[in-house]
Chains A and B, each alone.
Chain A
Amino acid sequence: MKAFKGRVVVPGRIAAEVLVSHQGLNTLASFQKALQFGDKKATCGDQNNPDLYGKQMAGKALCLPQTIGSTTGGLVLYCACSMGRQPACMLFSNPIDSLAAAGAVLADVWLDNVRMPVVDSLGQEFLDYVKDGMNVVIQEDGTVLVG
């Protein structure tokens, strides 16, 4: 197991399987179709993201540098959480961006019984290390154990 320490954005303890996007996650392009057409797996619909396109995002430990694109990003993430189609956790190598931060905070403040731990600032080494299918454990203090 290798440990990485980041900053806690939304606290929580969870174990999940890794899904990695090496480029910025376009939240609208990735989630919109899944939310509109009842896809409980939240299959990524972003044609411009070869790492994620066509893969299940719901329930995964989504590892990424940041989110990009439309400013609907935060509310799209909020809706994914509200509908139970969110990743198990989001692990950012960079400091979190304003759109992902909005989605994470809104879900934590406004939704009962939904918890999506979010850790940021895990560093480039983290993103280089994690691979699809690995398992991670997130601890309350922002430590991410990868095995």
Chain B
Amino acid sequence: MKLTEEQKALLEGSKGETLAKVMESLVRYGELFGADEMVPVSSKYNHLVTSFGLKALGPVYELMDKLIEAGAPSGQKFTVDPKPLDKNVPSNFAQNIVFKHFMYSRQKDYEKQLRELGLLSDKAFTCTCYMDEVGNKPEFGDVLSWSESSAVVYANSVLGARCNRNSGIIDLMGSVIGFVPKFGLLTDEGRKADWIVEVRTEKKPEAQLLGSAIGMKVMEDVPYVKGLDKWLGNVLDDEACTYLKDFGAATASNGAVGLYHIDGLTPEAVKYGEDLIKPDAKVYVIDDAELERVYRDYPVIWKNKDASPKLCFMGCPHMSLQQLKDWTDKIEKGLAMSGQEKVTVPTVFTAAPDVLEKFARTPYADRLKATGVITSYICPLMYMNNPLSEKMPVITSSNKLRTYTSARYYTDDEILDQLTKGGK
């Protein structure tokens, strides 16, 4: 890799052993992908994936301590994924013990580390940092050192920023040095599509199912999706962005997609059209039957497959303001139709602290509260990833949560039925 004099000096230890190792990590990481130079990080803020003080990740915190001791904070302020704990979320006595004293016993210390390294604010904990209310929204063409698969795929695809699917720790290192290796999704060639996905459904496809199907088929490749603008339109309005948030998270978690193009909708597809498609691109046709097949193939790992759900999580990734409002309307309507007053399954809607704050100032907040739904800033994944929660029959319409935990996936309509008609 061709390095500048400044970068060479860093690598040789001009600013100490820790920064030399940071540089070595990034250079070796980049060289594996044929990077021939490091390019400046140009976004205003960074975003990190590691938000949890998990006892098991001790080695990560030791490494972060080394950065702090070396006087090497992040060069940018950053947002970070959601917190793993919120007392508003229902949990039993045993779960509380496990969460606080066993799993997340390092949470307080870790948050202190984050503040020392450059945490944007105490409200900066969300996986949807790109929401207007949060304000970490890169510009078209910005080079990022982000991680969090759902945020990276959104930034690349919907905002037109440039970011590889960086791992935790690498995300912070790019920001500490101020440069990232140029390869993959940072290059024009790497942003071209390996797949043409033709959506031929008779109804608007469920975002989470469509994303899952595409993710499992294309894995880490770039898909160019045709036929979806028929359902989403040609304007990136709130509704389209929310759909793409959930769609993208499913492509990234069920596969390893870092960028997708939606014909006639996402910025690069609008700008370059089918010139983005590689000549030898493969074709994947998706109709209603294919989505049904994908859905039916999901394993259900509940011990009792007929158990009544004990909890419902919505918002992985975190919900948008519009989503919170739309779901308030839907739940009220569903309850009215079924003659119920409250949701029949304990339900948690999760969103960014800033989004929840804004939601709380709308009339929807009291209406949603009246249905019995709880709102929280928690990370549902972090709540679910332990043997106690794993035994609970939890339902969700998040394909990301389904992939990483024992939560059972249902479509939005099915979830609505369960919440308003009896939880069966």
Contact = CB atoms under 8 A, between A and B. Distances in A.
B301 A47 contact: yes
Interface stretch (B52-60, B230-238, B328-336): B52-60
Contacts of A113: none
Contacts of B152: 71
Do most interface residues of chain A lie in helix, strand or loop, or is the interface mixed?
helix
Interface in A44-82: 47-48, 66-75, 78-79, 82
Contact of A82 (B24, B50, B59, B404): B59
Contacts of A28: 404
Given A70-B149, A71-B49, A71-B147, A102 B403 contact: no
Contacts of A79: 56-60
Given A32-B385, A48-B299, A109-B24, A69 B219 contact: no
A98 interface: yes
A9 B329 CA distance: 53
Given A36-B54, A79-B60, A109 B21 contact: yes
B63 A110 contact: yes
A103 B50 CA distance: 14
A35 to B, nearest CB: 4
A36 B56 contact: yes
Contacts of B103: 36
Given A36-B55, A36-B56, A75-B50, A68 B169 contact: no
A66 B220 CA distance: 9
Nearest to A70: B149
Interface centre among A37, A70, A79, by most chain B C-beta atoms within 10 angstroms, is: A70
Interface residues of A, number: 39
A133 interface: no
The 7 lowest CB-CB distance pairs between A and B, nearest first, are A74-B167, A102-B167, A82-B59, A35-B56, A75-B168, A71-B147, A68-B256
Contacts of A71: 49, 147-149, 152, 165-168, 171
B25 interface: yes
Nearest to A83: B59
A35 B57 contact: yes
B35 to A, nearest CB: 11
Contacts of B60: 75, 78-79
Interface in B276-300: 299
B95 interface: no
Interface in B18-76: 21, 24-25, 28-29, 32-33, 49-50, 54-60, 63
A26 B386 contact: no
A106 B220 contact: no
Contacts of A137: none
Given A48-B299, A82-B59, A110-B63, A75 B404 contact: no
A28 B405 CA distance: 10
B388 to A, nearest CB: 11
Interface centre among B169, B256, B385, by most chain A C-beta atoms within 10 angstroms, is: B256
Interface centre among A32, A35, A72, by most chain B C-beta atoms within 10 angstroms, is: A72
Given A67-B256, A96-B32, A106-B170, 16 more contacts: A26-B404, A29-B404, A36-B55, A68-B255, A70-B404, A72-B147, A75-B50, A75-B169, A79-B56, A82-B58, A99-B167, A102-B29, A103-B167, A105-B32, A109-B21, A109-B28
